[in-house]
């Protein structure tokens, strides 16, 4: 783009474009920006003329971005983020911080930090709001698109615009109740485990998972891991264990099961067993899988964002279930 073209592009046009992308509607974007719909439509036309592309096509449910618009969004977001940082104060007042952060983290990892984090927020940043949910199918795409602020997951490969930090390593375990045929054994083989019903809780088998290579090696040896039940719900997992299924989960959730089920009336005794030796021998991490925290590049120098992720890292590393990196 030539200098005279750059001079045609003001910040308001970039903000208009990003807001229309996020809302999928000119009318909703206009309402959010506090301008009239005709005024925003004129801005959209200027953008179309400038980038020589229609940018959006109208569908029954709203506006759909063109391929060119999606490319522009990836380029414009960091620009607006940099401008925002340029105008933001260089100090952070936690007592008056009024901001909402969206986190994606599975329950087994959440158990490592949520209690001390909430206590810290209540004292240090009482106006800060958290929105916490489990990972969906999109996974890191949500970070790239700006739908979430922070993510915690057991994966290694990330896109170039996603920053990450290794928090530590976590073990998995097997939870059995007395209703399970293997309850009285002190350890189990893969064959024994897979010959009975298995439930998994937040143990994902996507291609970026740190366990995916081990799963492929087990498959080559004839051990097909095909859970009878997969769930994100602790209540469902508890009922499955109660009815004799083996639960494969993180050690933090395993210990939580022990504490909860010991107090629960009319429940079979439960115990934790280690992951089978054959799995550990094939696993490049020897059963201790890395947990990373992820955030988009545009938030890297954001003071509030940095404070929150440092709080989470600190509390997770203080957790009794976390093995720290060297």
182-206 tens-digit pLDDT: 999 998 998 888 889 998 876 554 4
Task: Place 209 in a pLDDT band, splitting at 50, 70 and 90.
Answer: low
pLDDT surpasses 70 at 169: yes
pLDDT surpasses 60 at 2: no
For the chain, give the percent of residues with pLDDT over 90.
20
Under a CB-based contact definition with an 8 Å cutoff, are residues 104 and 232 in contact?
no
Give pLDDT, residue 202: 65
pLDDT surpasses 60 at 60: yes
Average pLDDT over residues 73-84: 80
Under a CB-based contact definition with an 8 Å cutoff, are residues 228 and 273 in contact?
no
pLDDT surpasses 60 at 72: yes
Average pLDDT over residues 59-78: 84
Give pLDDT, residue 307: 94
Average pLDDT over residues 266-280: 84
pLDDT surpasses 90 at 308: yes
pLDDT surpasses 70 at 291: yes
Average pLDDT over residues 224-238: 84
CATH node for 94-165+291-318: 3.40.190.10
Considering the entire predicted model, what is its pTM? Answer: 0.67
pLDDT surpasses 60 at 108: yes
Which residue, 209, 211, 215, 241, is CA-closest to 228? 241
Q: Report pLDDT digits (tens) over 7-51.
A: 666 788 888 888 888 888 888 888 888 889 899 899 889 889 888
pLDDT surpasses 60 at 221: yes
Where do the domains of the chain lie? Answer: 3-87, 94-165+291-318, 169-288
- Same fold for the pair 94-165+291-318 and 169-288: yes
Fold for domain 169-288? Answer: D-Maltodextrin-Binding Protein; domain 2 (3.40.190)
Give pLDDT, residue 147: 79
Average pLDDT over residues 95-117: 89
HEC profile for the chain? CCHHHHHHCCHHHHHHHHHHHHHCCHHHHHHHHCCCHHHHHHHHHHHHHHHCCCCEEEECCEEEECHHHHHHHHHHHHHHHHHHHHHCCCCCCHHHCCCEEEEEECHHHHCCCHHHHHHHHHHHCCCCEEEEECCCCCCCHHHHHCCCCEEEECECCCCCCEEEEEEEEEEEEEEEECCCCCCCCCCCCHHHHHCCCEEEECCCCCCCECCHHHHHHHHHCCCCCCCCEEECCHHHHHHHHHCCCEEEEEHHHHHHHHHHHHHCCCCCCEEEECCCHHHHHHCCCCCEEEEEEEEEHHHCCCHHHHHHHHHHHHHHHHCCCCECCC
pLDDT surpasses 90 at 248: no
Give pLDDT, residue 263: 66
pLDDT surpasses 60 at 1: no
Q: What is the mean pLDDT of the chain?
A: 84
User: Into which CATH architecture does domain 3-87 fall?
Assistant: Orthogonal Bundle (1.10)
pLDDT surpasses 70 at 266: no
pLDDT surpasses 60 at 3: no
Give pLDDT, residue 137: 63
**Greater model confidence, 259 or 137:** 259
């Amino acid at each position: 783009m030539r200098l005279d073209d750059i001079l045609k592009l003001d910040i308001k046009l970039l903000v208009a474009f990003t807001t229309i992308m996020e809302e999928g509607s000119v009318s909703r974007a206009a309402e959010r920006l506090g301008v009239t719909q005709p005024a925003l439509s004129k801005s959209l036309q200027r953008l179309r003329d400038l980038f020589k592309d229609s940018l959006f096509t109208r569908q029954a449910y709203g506006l759909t971005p063109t391929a060119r618009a999606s490319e522009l969004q990836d380029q414009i977001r960091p620009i607006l983020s940099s401008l925002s940082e340029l105008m933001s104060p260089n100090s952070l007042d936690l007592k008056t911080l009024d901001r909402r952060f969206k986190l994606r983290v599975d329950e087994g990892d959440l158990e490592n930090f949520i209690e001390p984090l909430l206590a810290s927020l209540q004292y240090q940043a009482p106006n800060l709001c958290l929105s916490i949910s489990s990972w969906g199918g999109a996974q890191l795409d949500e970070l790239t698109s700006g739908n979430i602020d922070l993510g915690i997951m057991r994966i290694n490969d990330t896109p170039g615009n996603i920053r990450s930090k290794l928090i530590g390593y976590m073990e998995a375990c097997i939870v059995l109740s007395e209703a399970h045929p293997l309850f009285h054994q002190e350890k189990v083989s893969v064959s024994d485990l897979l010959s009975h019903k298995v439930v998994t809780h937040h143990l994902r088998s996507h291609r970026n998972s740190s366990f995916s290579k081990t799963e492929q090696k087990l498959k080559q040896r004839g051990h097909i891991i095909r859970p009878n039940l997969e769930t994100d719900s602790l209540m469902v997992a508890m009922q499955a264990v109660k009815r004799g299924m083996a639960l494969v989960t993180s050690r933090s959730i395993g210990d939580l099961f022990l504490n909860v089920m010991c107090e629960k009336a009319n429940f079979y005794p439960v115990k934790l067993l280690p992951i089978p030796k054959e799995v550990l021998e094939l696993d490049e991490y020897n059963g201790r899988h890395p947990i990373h925290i992820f955030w988009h590049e545009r938030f890297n120098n954001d003071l509030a964002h940095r404070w929150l992720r440092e709080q989470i890292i600190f509390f997770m590393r203080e957790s009794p279930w976390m093995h720290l990196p060297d």
